[in-house]
Amino acid sequence: MISRGEHGISRKQFSPNAIKVLYRLKDGGFDAYLVGGCIRDVLLGQQPKDFDVVTNATPEQVKKLFRNCRLIGRRFRLAHIVFGREIIEVATMRGHHEAPEDKNQISQSSEQGQLLRDNVFGSIEEDAERRDFSINALYYSINDFCIYDYANGLAAIKAKQIELIGDPETRYREDPVRMLRAVRFATKLDMKIAPNSEKPMTALASLLDNIPPARLFEEILKLFLNGKAQANYLMLRKYGLFNSLFPELNRILDNNPGGLEATFIENMFKNTDDRINADKKVTPAYVFAALLWFPLLERTKTVQNEEQLSEYDAFSQAINSVLSDNAQHIAVPKRFTLGARDIWHIQHRLDKRAGQRAYRLTQQPRFKAAYDFLLMRVEAGETQHSELAQWWTQYLSLDINGQKEMVRTLGQPAGPKPRRRARRRTPKKPTE
């Protein structure tokens, strides 16, 4: 236990809505604590974003206390308390899985040791043992304003280490997503994964194949849209985790290390980080368009050779095939796959600029993203498209009259036109 005088944390550093939830649960006769990331971030001097509450009240009991509550989840039964755009997540303290006495409490594991159902409740000490990393097993109480540290979380913060609670292999098998979380916390908090927690990751990376694709999509967003995408990508590759997320791209990268493909992907993640850190918008459609671009090009060649189709028809068929295969690993919502399709199709239309085509293309909702995509391809090494990229860059910098002149002179040699030599007229012979 760390007293208020020792930790120096004030309630004002937390969400007022989270504090309201704590007091409502307390007044209802239950124990309640702020837990996890919000405590960790405040101790690190960072601004917390998510505020999670743990209590000894069951989800049904929480729902009776809050009219603005909805229960979610099957594997983990949780209560979400909704305050406008802010959601305070309330979880019941987890217990161990050895034959729970209450038949309403359900625990189920797969043959690989992965937890499929985890609605087993227990004490705060048991809950701390069930947390993933020691830095996330810190509890803040409004009863005495103390921090309760059950897993040496403060020591891990000082050592700047991401360390699993319990046996690493067992904990990763219970939930393989913990390997992705270890990577994300390490880059986000500028920490290192502890040696004992790091050791089994490569051998267990394939367990991610058992995770539902919809859940992996949410994890991908956290990894690649948090301002640390490039560092996360490199660490995922290091531990072999990227292969379970994007197997075709991973194979292409392995076959040509340090090649154009690797440069393109790293540049994309760097640009994504730059935009996010500058508070600019990044759409997942663009990220997935880049991650599936080289598998798409490879699949296009295969379809074209096998079915003797035109390049455009093979390209269109390959898009459906690549997206279908990707959905087996990561369930990308349709609104983002449609955006990726638009970006890809525009790549094939960028060199068709005559007449009204250039202007009409710029009116497409995804044109700017597709133009940036072309620049990124050239920057990575596709120099054959340099002239096309320069043309579009100049075109977009001009007013309507300048754009019309550029389209009118398409295909004409640069520089002044040669002067035509005047024909000499032969004088007519006088008539006799």
- pLDDT bracket for residue 73 (50, 70, 90): confident
For 29, 356, 369, 374, 390, the CA distances from 398, given in Å and listed in that order, are 69, 16, 19, 19, 13
Mean pLDDT calculated for residue range 405-410: 93
Distance, CA of 19 to CA of 300 (rounded, Å): 55
Q: Which of 68-82, 319-333, 418-432 has the highest mean pLDDT?
A: 319-333
Of residues 10 and 385, more confidently modeled: 385
Place of tokens 């038949």: 103
Distance, CA of 15 to CA of 53 (rounded, Å): 11
Instruction: Decide if 118 is catalytic.
Output: no
Amino acid symbol at 349:
R
Residue 112: what pLDDT?
53
Could you tell me what percent of the chain has a pLDDT over 70? 90
Amino acid symbol at 111:
E
352 closest CA partner among 325, 380, 315, 312: 312
Q: What is the CA radius of gyration of the chain?
A: 29
Residue 180: what pLDDT?
97
Hey, which residues does 79 pair with through a beta bridge? 71, 90
Residue 268: what pLDDT?
97
**Sign of the four-CA dihedral 291, 296, 298, 299:** positive
Distance, CA of 268 to CA of 233 (rounded, Å): 11
Residue 49: what pLDDT?
85
Catalytic residue among 50, 209, 313, 372: 50
Instruction: Using the predicted structure, report yes or no on whether residue 147 has a pLDDT greater than 80.
Output: yes
* Average predicted confidence (pLDDT) for the chain: 90
Instruction: Using the predicted structure, report yes or no on whether residue 117 has a pLDDT greater than 90.
Output: no
Mean pLDDT calculated for residue range 89-102: 72
For domain 1-159, the CATH class is: alpha beta
Instruction: Using the predicted structure, report yes or no on whether residue 369 has a pLDDT greater than 50.
Output: yes
Distance, CA of 206 to CA of 167 (rounded, Å): 19
Mean pLDDT calculated for residue range 272-281: 95
What are the pLDDT digits (tens) for 284-309?
Answer: 999 999 999 999 999 999 999 888 88
Report how far Cα 63 is from the mean position of its chain's Cα atoms: 31
- pLDDT bracket for residue 100 (50, 70, 90): very low
Two tokens, residue 286: 């663009």
Catalytic residue among 41, 118, 127, 132: 132
Answer for the pair 314, 348: CB distance below 8 angstroms, yes or no: no
Tell me, what DSSP letter sits at residue 396? Answer: H
Residue-level length of the chain: 432
374 closest CA partner among 360, 357, 361: 361
Instruction: Decide if 190 is catalytic.
Output: no
Give the range among 10-19, 43-52, 104-113, 335-344 with minimum mean pLDDT.
104-113
Q: Which of 28-37, 90-99, 114-123 has the highest mean pLDDT?
A: 28-37
For 24, 306, 376, the CA distances from 301, given in Å and listed in that order, are 62, 9, 22
- pLDDT bracket for residue 211 (50, 70, 90): very high
Report how far Cα 333 is from the mean position of its chain's Cα atoms: 13
Residue 395: what pLDDT?
96
Residue 114: what pLDDT?
55
Instruction: Using the predicted structure, report yes or no on whether residue 421 has a pLDDT greater than 70.
Output: no
Domain ranges across the chain: 1-159
Instruction: Using the predicted structure, report yes or no on whether residue 108 has a pLDDT greater than 80.
Output: no
Distance, CA of 159 to CA of 51 (rounded, Å): 24
Instruction: Decide if 50 is catalytic.
Output: yes
Q: Which of 45-59, 97-111, 175-189 has the highest mean pLDDT?
A: 175-189
205's CB contacts (< 8 A; 6+ apart) are 179, 239, 240, 241, 243, 244
Q: What angle do CA 205, 323, 309 make, to 5 degrees?
A: 130
Two tokens, residue 33: 């604590």
Mean pLDDT calculated for residue range 313-333: 95
Mean pLDDT calculated for residue range 116-138: 83
- pLDDT bracket for residue 97 (50, 70, 90): low
Distance, CA of 376 to CA of 382 (rounded, Å): 9
Distance, CA of 317 to CA of 295 (rounded, Å): 13
Residue 106: what pLDDT?
47
E-state strands within 11-101: 32-35, 52-55, 69-72, 78-83, 86-92
- pLDDT bracket for residue 419 (50, 70, 90): low
Give the range among 93-102, 172-181, 220-229 with minimum mean pLDDT.
93-102
- pLDDT bracket for residue 414 (50, 70, 90): low
Distance, CA of 59 to CA of 118 (rounded, Å): 13
